Amino acid sequence: MLLNTYDDQALLFNTNFIEKTSSGGVAYRGELVVQEGEIADAQGRRKPPVSLLLGAVLLEENEQITLMVGLLNELATLEPLLEKYGKDLADNLCAMIFARNIDTPLILDALGKRFFLIPLDEGIPWNAAIDELALEKSDFKGQSAGDKLVTLYNEMKGYKAKGDQVSLEEALERTVEVKLTARGPV
């Protein structure tokens, strides 16, 4: 299983769950390491990851990733993400990548696959994807955690995205500066 291989390589981080689906696939929610931290000691242990796909939602079927949802703090992290995992992406991939530093939705064609790039200032990618696809709680009623990802994937197959169709280079040129605001008690 591909996701188990990722787990063995310590590429799954802060795992929420990893489980089989009723359709024979494997579902994962947690964080996905994009750039690993450098080796910290003689035993080969690593420092914390340099970058992550936050709130990652992955569905594996037939040793390939068919669903990828997550949040990137910087859209530039998409390039190393595609380099690291591109070979594992299925031809029928459904990918919704949220990014903090874009201000309009984009449709990216890369590696012969389509990625929906959507701005997200704050929030959880899972919830944002459900909202984007106009799914309701009742659509997931009685399903296991893994089967909920299958439902999301099946809904995303028919998703009609808004936004300009761009190359990776053009998408990176359209990033904006993010201004962080202080939150919490003063």
Backbone angles phi, psi at 87, to 5 degrees: -70, -20
Q: C-alpha distances in angstroms, 65 versus 55, 163, 165, 166?
A: 16, 24, 23, 23
Neighbouring residues of 119: CB distance < 8 A, sequence distance ≥ 6:
98, 99, 100, 102, 103, 104, 105
Neighbouring residues of 65: CB distance < 8 A, sequence distance ≥ 6:
2, 58, 59, 85, 88, 89, 90, 93
pLDDT confidence of residue 117? 97
- The pLDDT tens digits for 63-73 are 999 999 999 99
Domain-embedded: residue 131: yes
Domain-embedded: residue 181: no
CB atoms within 10 A of CB 59: 26
pLDDT confidence of residue 184? 60
Domain-embedded: residue 87: yes
% pLDDT > 70, the chain: 96
Backbone angles phi, psi at 20, to 5 degrees: -75, 150
Domain-embedded: residue 167: yes
- The pLDDT tens digits for 88-115 are 999 999 999 999 999 999 999 999 999 9
3-state secondary structure 74-126: CHHHHHHHHHHHHHHEEEEEEEEEEECCCCCCEEEEECCEEEEEEECCCCCHH
Domain-embedded: residue 183: no
DSSP 7: H
Domain-embedded: residue 179: no
What torsion, rounded to 10 degrees, do the Cα atoms 85, 83, 159, 21 define? 0
Higher pLDDT: 33 or 184? It is 33
- Per the structure, the count of domains in the chain is 1
Domain-embedded: residue 185: no
- The pLDDT tens digits for 121-147 are 889 999 999 999 999 999 999 999 999
Instruction: Report how far residue 176's alpha carbon sits from residue 163's, in angstroms, rounded to the nearest whole number.
Output: 16
Domain-embedded: residue 21: yes
Which domain covers residue 144, as residue numbers?
2-173
